[in-house]
Structure 1
């Protein structure tokens, strides 16, 4: 009984080792991700800069018009830009690039 159990386990281990095709494809996908990821990181930084500039213009306009609650707008635009920066950093950390 034990010999049959051991033979069965060894047979499963052997089939698991043979059932792993695609290592080359995984390496190729990783290389493609590395080549395109930095443009995505740059895109997140560009979007953060655009959020900052548009937010600054809108806040300045509303400030000159006498809008009383500028603080909420400043925080909203600031955290939108920070979120975009952190999203790029998070993706970099998750994919290990």
Structure 2
């Protein structure tokens, strides 16, 4: 029984070490991803800009239609844009992209 266990460990050990990618390959993959995609922070800035523009147009439209209580809408769109910027910074720090 001990010989069978030792034989299984001897055969299984080299297979496990061959199946794992090396550090150089992981760094190369990370470099390729950084070269071909936006960073998460850049994407969040683009989305925050779009949210700000859409919010500004909607608030302006409501104001021109006679609605004078637009404080909640201003706060909602502003905090949505701030959330996008902070989410991008968080993802960039967490994943390094």
**1:12 offset after TM fit, Å?**
0.8
Mind listing any 5+ residue stretches in structure 2 that lack a counterpart? none
Q: Which whole-Å CA distance do the structure 2 matches of 1:33 and 1:92 have between them?
A: 13
Mind listing any 5+ residue stretches in structure 1 that lack a counterpart? none
**Normalising to structure 2: TM-score of the pair?**
0.68
Q: Residue in 2 aligned with 1:8?
A: 8
* Correspondences of 1:11-50 after superposition (within 5 Å): 11-21=11-21, 24-35=24-35, 36-38=37-39, 40-50=40-50
Q: Deviations over 1:12-50 (max 9, x none)?
A: 111111223576543322102222343x52232133133
**Normalising to structure 1: TM-score of the pair?**
0.68
Please, what is the CA RMSD of the aligned residues? 2.8
1:96 aligns with 2:79: no
> Residues 75 and 10 (structure 1 numbering): CA distance in 2 closer, same or farther, change over 3 Å?
farther
Q: Which whole-Å CA distance do the structure 1 matches of 2:70 and 2:61 have between them?
A: 10
